A and B are shown apart, each in its own frame.
Chain A
C-alpha cells in the first residue's frame, strides 16, 4: 500500500514538471507588458524600467526565468508578486482559510444532499418523485454557479437579511454563517451532478444479478439498496465527485467574485488581469497539485472499497 502510494507520487513528478513548464510558457506568451501594468500606464525612463525588470528577473532569458521561478518554489515563497510586492506564499496563505472553508462546506453539503437524493430517485425510478427530483437536478445542473449565487444573495441576504450580503467573517465560527450562502451556491451545481450520477449507477446496480440474488435471499429492499447496491455504485460516484472537486476549486473563484470574499480564486483572477506572472503561475500550479493529490487519494479509496483492485499489483 505505502509502496504503491510512493510509486504514484514518483509518477506524478514528471507530470508536475511538464505542467509547470506548460503554465510558465502559457503565461509568458502574453502580449501584454507587465512593467507597464505595474506602473499603471505612467511614463517611465528606460533606467527605471531596467531596474524594475532586474528586480523581478524579467531581464533574463525565458529558461532562466523558469529556473528562477522553480528556485523560488523550493525556497518556499513562490516568488514575489509584481502587484503586491509581497511573497506569493504569504498572499495565498492569508486568503487560503476562507477558500478552504468555503470548498469544504460546499462539498459536505453537496454529498449530504446528493447521495440520498440519487438513491431515492433510483429506487423510485420513473415514478413521480423521481421525475420531480430529476427535473430539479436538471435545473441546477443547468444554472450557472454565479447566477445561483446572485439569486441567493438577492433573496436571503438583501430581501430577508438573514445573511451578510458580502464579505467573509473573521474566524471559523463566524464564517459558518457568512459563508453559508456562498457554500450553498457552490454546492447546488455539484449536488445536481452527483445526484444524477448516483441515480444512474444505482439503477444499474439494482438491475445487476447480485441484487436479484439478494432479493431472492429475502433481504428487504431497503437493505438491498443500502447494504448491497450502494457500495457497488460508489466507485463511479467517487470518480465524478473528485472531478467535481476540481470544478469546485474553479467554482469558488466565481462565488468569491459574487460575494466579494477575497479568497484565493479572486487573487488568481486579479493576477491574470494584472499580468502578475508569479501569482498566476504559482496559484495555478498549486491548484493542479491539489487536484492531482485528490486523484491519488481517490485511487487509494477505490482499493479500500473494492477488494478486486489491488494497489501493489
Chain B
C-alpha cells in the first residue's frame, strides 16, 4: 500500500457540495474569459492577423485607427494591433519563465529550510536576507547591468528577485505542516524525507502557493514591462508590451495609440490575473468570503429536494 493512500490529502479545491461560496463568481469568470481571449489571440496571431510582426508598410506610417489598421500603425508602418499580439507572446512567455524560475529555486529551498531547520535554514535565510535588502527591482537592474541587456537576462533577473519571497512563504507553510501528525506518521513508516517534503507537505500547501504564484504572474508582467520600458529588457525591434510602450512614448503627442495599446494590454492582463487570484484567495480564505443570502441557499436546497423527490417518484 502506498503511504499516500493512508494519509488523506487536503484536496486543493474542496468538493463544492459541502461548501457555500463559489470560486466561479462573475468577476472570476469574466477574468478567465479575458485571459483566454488574450492568450488565444497571442498564440494564433499569425492566423488572425493579415500582417506580420515586423512587416513594414511605408505607405501607411503613423496612422490612427482605421478599418485597415484597427489600432493604427507605427513610424515604419507596422500594424499596432498585430504587434500587440506578438508582443503578448513575448511578455506572457517571459512572465511564465520568471514564475517558473522562482518555483524551481524557491520551492525546494523553502521546503528544505522549513523541514530541516538548523544550519540549512540559517544559510538559506541569510541568502534571502541579502537578496531582500535590495529594494524591489534594484537587484534586477544590477543583474541586467552585469550580464547585459536582453530578454533572457531580464527573465532570469526577475526570477531571482522573486525567489526569496516564495522561499519564505514555502518555509512558513512547511513549518506549519511539519508539526502535524501525518508527517510524524510518515516518518515512522520510513518514508524518505524527499518524499515527505515534495509529495506530502508540498501537496498540502499547494493552494496557498498557487494563490501566490498567480499574483506573481501579474507582478512579473508589470516588472518585465518596467524593465523593457527602461530599455533594460527586451530590445527593439522584437515586439514586447514594455518595449512598445517605450517606443510609442517618444511619439506620444503624434500618435498616442502607439503607447496606449500595449499599455492597455498590460493593464487588462494584470487586472484579469489579479481578479482571478483574488477570487481564488477569497475562496480559500473563509473570513473574507462573501456569503450567499439565506434566500438563495434555501431556494437551492428546495430545488435539490424537489429534484430528489422527482427522481424517487
Chain A partners chain B: yes
Collect the chain B residues with CB atoms within 8 Å of residue A258's CB: 249
Collect the chain A residues with CB atoms within 8 Å of residue B259's CB: 147, 150
Roughly how many angstroms separate A249 CA and B133 CA in the complex, as a whole number? Answer: 13
Roughly how many angstroms separate A249 CA and B141 CA in the complex, as a whole number? Answer: 13
Contact of B267 among A125, A139, A243, A287 (CB under 8 A): A139
A288 adjacent to B138 (CB under 8 Å):
yes
Roughly how many angstroms separate A18 CA and B143 CA in the complex, as a whole number? Answer: 16
Q: Is B252 an interface residue (CB 8 A)?
A: yes
Question: Please, what's the 1-or-0 string for A17-34, where 1 marks a CB less than 8 Å from any CB in chain B?
Answer: 011001101111111100
B window 4-32: CB within 8 A of A: none
Collect the chain B residues with CB atoms within 8 Å of residue A147's CB: 245, 259, 263, 266-267
B147 adjacent to A29 (CB under 8 Å):
yes
Which of B68-76, B191-199, B229-237 makes up part of the contact surface?
A: B229-237
Collect the chain B residues with CB atoms within 8 Å of residue A288's CB: 133-135, 138
Q: A26-B142, A27-B146, A146-B245 are in contact. Are A19 and B135 (CB under 8 A)?
A: no
Q: A144-B222, A158-B253 are in contact. Are A30 and B135 (CB under 8 A)?
A: no
B288 adjacent to A250 (CB under 8 Å):
no
Q: How many chain B residues have a CB neighbour from A under 8 Å?
A: 43
A30 adjacent to B148 (CB under 8 Å):
yes
Q: How far is the CB of A282 from chain B (nearest CB, A)?
A: 12
B134 adjacent to A291 (CB under 8 Å):
yes
Interface of chain A, helix or strand or loop or mixed? helix
Q: A19-B133, A287-B138 are in contact. Are A146 and B288 (CB under 8 A)?
A: no
B145 adjacent to A246 (CB under 8 Å):
no
Collect the chain B residues with CB atoms within 8 Å of residue A273's CB: 149, 231
Question: Please, what's the 1-or-0 string for B260-273, where 1 marks a CB less than 8 Å from any CB in chain A?
Answer: 00010011001101
B141 adjacent to A284 (CB under 8 Å):
yes
Q: Output the residue of B146, B148, B218, B225 with the most chain A CB within 10 A.
A: B146
Roughly how many angstroms separate A126 CA and B145 CA in the complex, as a whole number? Answer: 46
Roughly how many angstroms separate A146 CA and B223 CA in the complex, as a whole number? Answer: 11
Q: How far is the CB of B84 from chain A (nearest CB, A)?
A: 14
Q: Output the residue of B135, B229, B230, B267 with the most chain A CB within 10 A.
A: B135
A30 adjacent to B145 (CB under 8 Å):
yes
Q: Is B189 an interface residue (CB 8 A)?
A: no
Q: Is B278 an interface residue (CB 8 A)?
A: yes
Collect the chain A residues with CB atoms within 8 Å of residue B135's CB: 245-247, 249-250, 287-288, 291
A window 238-272: CB within 8 A of B: 243, 245-247, 249-250, 253-254, 257-258, 268-269, 272
Collect the chain B residues with CB atoms within 8 Å of residue A27's CB: 142, 145-146
Q: How many chain A residues have a CB neighbour from B under 8 Å?
A: 52
Q: Is A145 an interface residue (CB 8 A)?
A: yes
B274 adjacent to A138 (CB under 8 Å):
yes
B230 adjacent to A253 (CB under 8 Å):
yes
Q: Is A207 an interface residue (CB 8 A)?
A: yes
Collect the chain A residues with CB atoms within 8 Å of residue B58's CB: none
A window 118-152: CB within 8 A of B: 125-126, 138-139, 141-147, 150-151
Interface of chain B, helix or strand or loop or mixed? helix
Q: Is A200 an interface residue (CB 8 A)?
A: yes
Contact of A272 among B145, B245, B271, B278 (CB under 8 A): B145
Q: Output the residue of A142, A243, A292 with the most chain B CB within 10 A.
A: A142
Q: How far is the CB of B208 from chain A (nearest CB, A)?
A: 14
Given contacts A138-B278, A144-B266, 19 further A-B contacts (CB under 8 A): A15-B129, A15-B133, A125-B288, A138-B271, A142-B273, A144-B229, A145-B226, A146-B245, A147-B245, A203-B287, A207-B287, A247-B135, A250-B135, A254-B226, A269-B141, A269-B232, A272-B144, A280-B142, A284-B142
A interface, CB within 8 angstroms of B: 15, 18-19, 22-23, 25-32, 125-126, 138-139, 141-147, 150-151, 154, 158, 200, 203-204, 207, 243, 245-247, 249-250, 253-254, 257-258, 268-269, 272-273, 280, 284, 287-288, 291-292
28 intermolecular pairs with C-beta atoms under 8 Å apart = A19-B130, A25-B146, A26-B142, A26-B143, A26-B145, A26-B147, A27-B146, A28-B146, A30-B147, A30-B148, A31-B148, A142-B222, A142-B267, A142-B270, A150-B245, A150-B249, A150-B263, A151-B263, A154-B256, A249-B135, A250-B138, A250-B141, A258-B249, A269-B141, A269-B230, A269-B231, A288-B138, A291-B133
